[in-house]
Chain A
């Protein structure tokens, strides 16, 4: 007789549990890697597994972000939507060297984990493992630059934000198409030969086919680093002199500033003709690092740098429109100019506000 009430409670609990799981009517969702994942009907909190996914998620649904992968740089804060500025950083959840604490991820109670990047079997199986370990649905989106509109549409479907996602996808597509149509008029041999300088000495570069240099070709340039199998690698200064690039792209203003005085670099055509372009970095770097949708504005910027006559529209206007639409911040003219400062054609940037 004694266990009776207990048993009744158990049965009630079971019924409740069934009702609850039925209520959250899981819907099947097929991600870009072809994995079918059960998603909850309503997604309220989303965690990005890596920096490219964080940027993608921020552009589409900053209100759903449960946290950052790495804390935003202090200089990025004024350029981010206010409520995302103080979000916690959870670390990378995927790939080699994942740094996120799984318990902390569980404590954040996300409804969904999103990753954007390579769709290879390594990443698909890593996604499966994280999903099995945490019990949180994990979707993988295509991170290649050309698939940006598709990634937006898929993320929109997963989050239940289809119309907003379609709008961003259309804008991304039109931006890429505009640049693509304009640079298509430039014959292959008239396109500037571009060297991407990375690392403290600028002797690390991305070879053709690497995700880090996708923008060079898309913006109507030719990557001088041809035969490195699409990887990052070190090259010698002699090799850079032999390539003698027409233009140099770098993320490092200090490196760029020292070039004209450096005996190794000052004879390079790009340095002599002043075609050294420092990619703006805030709130997300324009050219690379991470190679995410943050490169959309970088494409427009680099194309205008490489082919100024094809893109007469003033760059600050383009930047302000893009930041308002994708990054949810309204820049004033000073902020836009400061962002472009390192690469403005005229005077050096005025005092930063």
Chain B
């Protein structure tokens, strides 16, 4: 008789705990965002920042210098928004792919997205195109690579579909990587080659409001199905036979999930270049914090990824005059933290 109320009490307590955890992470993210807007290489006084934001949000009269307004609205704001969205998106895509392929070593570029997007961007730089077509080529390259991999997966029927996709992704990625190397060899070593190298390293340094506006709809288009289908991912991660036995149509669900995660990744890479490690490590950190249930894992990955990339970018643009490429910092900051969390081993891993 006393067991049922006690269980209900436990559930309520857990719900409260989860709500407060979500609220706390939300507040933390907000504070981090505010800090990211306030700090940078161009000094903007806190009063000016408040005046600029007050003007934009509440229509108050602006009393800040024009350049400070440019810095906040045209440089920092798009950068912070892009960091939030790209961090969240790459982490969600990583979590999705890891469940989909039932493999903890999988990252968002498993199906050749980054290699395809990289080849598209490098081709654009090699041809001397302006930035916008370079980004379009990168986006199309990423989608094209995954379409090719998926086409191979459909054509090959004799093997395990998941294994086929992963192997096809490795092979297609290798071919595209060779294409990138070929263009690097052909490129002008004094002008194009450094540009290609810097592009491939990944950076948020030149994200504009236009980039954000063009990329955001695609990100949302990819994120919404992932969030809505997150409880089905639990079933997908059991394997095809079990998922089907539980009534999940894997032949429909898998392409939807792959398409969504690919769209996100291709859009992110087209805008920022290749930012490695986030999509691999953040889902694991989230898993160590909230467990393997995708109903919680996916939101946790989104929040952690967003905060993590804002933090890393904050470091990247304040460390020195030279911008440190993000891929380097995500590995330097993320991997040791991940190892520490792994060693402290508080939660089940899979």
**Cα–Cα distance between A145 and B90 once the two chains are bound (Å):** 46
A264-B75, A289-B188 as given contacts; A234 in contact with B322, CB under 8 Å:
yes
The contact size tier of chain A is: 35 or more
How distant is the Cα of A237 from the Cα of B317 in the complex, in angstroms?
10
- On whether the beta carbons of A238 and B41 are closer than 8 Å, the reply is yes
A236/B41 in contact, CB under 8 A = yes
How many residues on the B side are at the interface (Cβ–Cβ under 8 A)?
A: 39
Among B190, B198, B323, which residue has its beta carbon within 8 angstroms of that of A51?
B190
Question: In the complex, are the beta carbons of B125 and A200 less than 8 A apart?
Answer: yes
Separation in Å of the A51 CB from the closest CB of chain B? 7
B205 touches A227 (CB 8 A): no
- A-B residue pairs, 8 tightest by C-beta: A233-B322, A289-B190, A242-B42, A289-B191, A234-B323, A199-B195, A236-B205, A239-B41
Give which listed residue, A199, A200, A264, contacts B208 with CB less than 8 A.
A264
Among B25-33, B55-63, B65-73, B100-108, the stretch in contact with A: B65-73
Given contacts A200-B131, A241-B70, A263-B74, A235 and B321 within 8 Å (CB-CB): yes
- Is B96 an interface residue, CB under 8 A from the partner? no
State the majority secondary structure of interface residues on A.
loop
Interface string of A192-209 (1 = CB under 8 A from B): 000000111101100100
Residue of B nearest to A224 (CB): B321
The docked-state distance in angstroms from the alpha carbon of A237 to that of B184 is 26
A239 near B189 with CB under 8 A, answer no
Within the complex, which residue of B43, B75, B189, B190 is in contact with A237, where a contact is CB–CB below 8 Å?
B75
Distance between Cα atoms of A97 and B209 in the complex (Å): 37
Q: Which residue numbers of B lie inside 8 Å of A, CB to CB?
A: 40-43, 66-67, 70-71, 74-76, 124-125, 128-131, 134, 184-185, 188-191, 194-195, 198-199, 203, 205-206, 208-209, 317, 320-323, 325
Contacts of B70 in A (CB 8 A): 241, 263-264, 267
11 contacts between A and B (CB under 8 A): A198-B191, A200-B124, A200-B129, A200-B130, A201-B131, A204-B195, A207-B321, A225-B321, A238-B40, A267-B66, A289-B191
| Inter-subunit contact B130/A254 (CB<8 Å) | yes
Given contacts A235-B205, A238-B42, A242-B43, 4 further A-B contacts (CB under 8 A): A200-B131, A236-B323, A239-B42, A267-B67
Contact of B42 among A198, A233, A241 (CB under 8 A): A241
A133 to B221 CA separation, bound complex (whole angstroms): 58
- In this assembly, does A226 line the interface, its C-beta being within 8 Å of a C-beta of chain B? yes
Known: A200-B195, A226-B321. A236 touches B75 (CB 8 A): yes
Q: Which residues of B contact A289 (CB under 8 A)?
A: 188, 190-191
A99 near B: Cβ within 8 Å?
yes
Q: Is A70's beta carbon under 8 Å from chain B?
A: yes
Q: Which of A213-267 contact B (CB under 8 A)?
A: 225-228, 231-239, 241-242, 244, 251, 254, 258, 263-264, 267
A230 smallest CB distance to B (angstroms): 11
Cβ-closest chain B residue relative to A226: B321
Is B194 in contact with A198, judged by CB distance below 8 angstroms?
A: yes
Contacts of B71 in A (CB 8 A): 238, 241
In the assembled complex, which residues on chain A have CB atoms less than 8 Å from the CB atom of B66?
A: 267
Cβ of B194 and Cβ of A238 under 8 Å apart?
no
With A227-B321, A237-B205 known as contacts, the answer to whether A204 contacts B194 (CB < 8 A) is yes
